[in-house]
Amino acid sequence: MKKIIVFASGSGTNAENIIKYFAKTENAKVVSVFTNNPSAKVIERAKNHQIPVEIFSKTELLERNVLQKIQEIDPDLIVLAGFLLKFPENIIEKYPNKIINIHPALLPNYGGKGMYGMHIHRAIVNNKEKETGISIHYVNENYDEGGIIFQKNIALTDEDTPETVAEKIHELEQKYFPEIIQTILEQ
């Protein structure tokens, strides 16, 4: 049984979707959720599925505390699903090509520090982009610069608002993120 750790900072809809998806499979499961936000909704979502939760501070992430907890679990894959802190190099070095992230835009466009959530969707609408999408990529020491594993685009119209773009992106994330995780684990 392959072990997945999910890192999330917010509501946890992608994390919960991944938990549910792998609860129905026999080859992998989410064994823990890690969060830096003690009031994140992801905590309640994980507990509703009997998934243990690790809550940590930014300092604990940068020091060895979080790495030690990850090593105790010995995951096959670390999945960032709405995790907003920069991932530390000490963990990236220990788990090369075993850490993936989902980004709500077609990288390399709209990536980098400060580019997340509604910030991205507003920028896309303000720039009158004709399409957007999701990017699933490996995590390296720079925001949103790791090798791209998968991208899926979706057309936009002049009527789209940041909110409708967010809904379209969320649908893509819910459909493709678990499937791509499954594919990676089968390689």
**Mind listing the pLDDT tens digit for each residue in 113-171?**
889 889 999 999 999 999 999 999 999 988 899 999 999 999 999 999 999 999 999 99
User: What's at 150, amino acid-wise?
Assistant: F
Query: How far apart are alpha carbons 66 and 94 in whole angstroms?
Result: 12
Task: State residue 64's pLDDT score.
Answer: 86
**Mind listing the pLDDT tens digit for each residue in 16-54?**
999 999 999 999 999 999 999 999 999 999 999 999 999
In the numeric block, the tokens 């999330």 are attached to 8
**Mind listing the pLDDT tens digit for each residue in 60-86?**
999 889 999 999 999 999 999 999 899
Task: State residue 114's pLDDT score.
Answer: 86
Catalytic residues: 103
Residues 6+ apart with CB under 8 A from 100: 77, 78, 79, 80, 136, 137, 138, 139, 149, 180, 181, 184
Q: Please state the pTM of the whole predicted model.
A: 0.95
Q: Which range, of 6-15, 44-53, 95-104, 109-118, averages the lowest pLDDT?
A: 109-118
Contact 14, 174 (CB under 8 A): yes
Contact 182, 25 (CB under 8 A): yes
Task: State residue 122's pLDDT score.
Answer: 97
pLDDT category, 9, cuts 50, 70, 90?
very high
Query: How far apart are alpha carbons 99 and 5 in whole angstroms?
Result: 9
